[in-house]
């Protein structure tokens, strides 16, 4: 059986992000069991640019304000070379001049707070970026394109 219709897509950012400050976007996860974030940087400007997200983390709250959110440590990136009690993964450098880079962060929502926030800050030379989230395993399957978070969907 094709399960793709049970997914809701949430576009969070497809633009130029400030390289001098962090920003956040919120996802309402009500009715879904899983979330998968994808954060894209364009292809590198040079093979030695070592560009990467300056900040990329997921936090959670039961209210709609990011200032009330708490960190999900395993989904908190660090630009250092090691992880610790507050940083769960190392943000990878991006030196590929042929292909864009995707960072994918996944989360089981069962037992989690309702709202997720992705907080980001683009690298100096990679201010154009894209972030999206796919919510899946819906309790009530989305039955329209609007409920799926898309303009048009077609399945064969």
Helix (H, G, I), strand (E, B) or coil at 40: strand
- At 77-94, the pLDDT tens digits run 988 888 888 888 998 888
Q: What's the total number of domains in the chain?
A: 1
The chain-wide mean pLDDT, for the chain, equals 85
> 58 in a domain, yes or no?
yes
- Nearest Cα residue to 128 out of 91, 94, 104: 94
Q: Identify the weakest region by mean pLDDT among 12-16, 77-81, 98-102, 123-127.
A: 123-127
pLDDT over 70 for what percent of the chain? 91
Go through the chain and tell me how many residues it has.
Answer: 156
Report which secondary-structure segment, H or E, holds 146: helix 145-148
Residue 3 has pLDDT above 60, yes or no: no
Can you list the positions of beta strands (E) in the chain? Answer: 8-16, 23-28, 34-41, 55-61, 70-78, 89-90, 101-108, 115-121, 128-136
> 154 in a domain, yes or no?
no
> 44 in a domain, yes or no?
yes
For residue 51, give the CATH number of its domain: 2.60.120
User: Which pTM was predicted?
Assistant: 0.85
By residue range, what is the domain housing residue 107? 4-139
């Amino acid at each position: 059986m094709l399960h793709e219709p049970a997914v809701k897509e949430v576009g969070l950012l497809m633009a130029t992000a400030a390289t001098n400050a962090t920003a956040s976007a919120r996802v309402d996860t009500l009715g879904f069991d899983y979330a998968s974030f994808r954060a894209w940087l364009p292809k590198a400007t040079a093979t030695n640019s070592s560009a990467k997200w300056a900040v990329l983390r997921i936090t959670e709250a039961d209210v709609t304000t990011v200032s009330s959110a708490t960190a999900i440590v395993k989904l908190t990136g660090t630009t250092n070379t090691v992880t610790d009690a507050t940083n769960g993964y190392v943000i990878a450098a991006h030196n590929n001049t042929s292909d864009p880079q995707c960072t994918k962060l996944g989360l089981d929502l069962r037992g989690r707070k309702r709202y997720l926030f992705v907080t980001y800050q683009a690298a100096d030379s990679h201010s154009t970026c894209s972030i999206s989230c796919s919510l899946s395993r819906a309790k009530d399957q989305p039955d329209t394109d609007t409920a799926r978070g898309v303009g048009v969907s077609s399945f064969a």
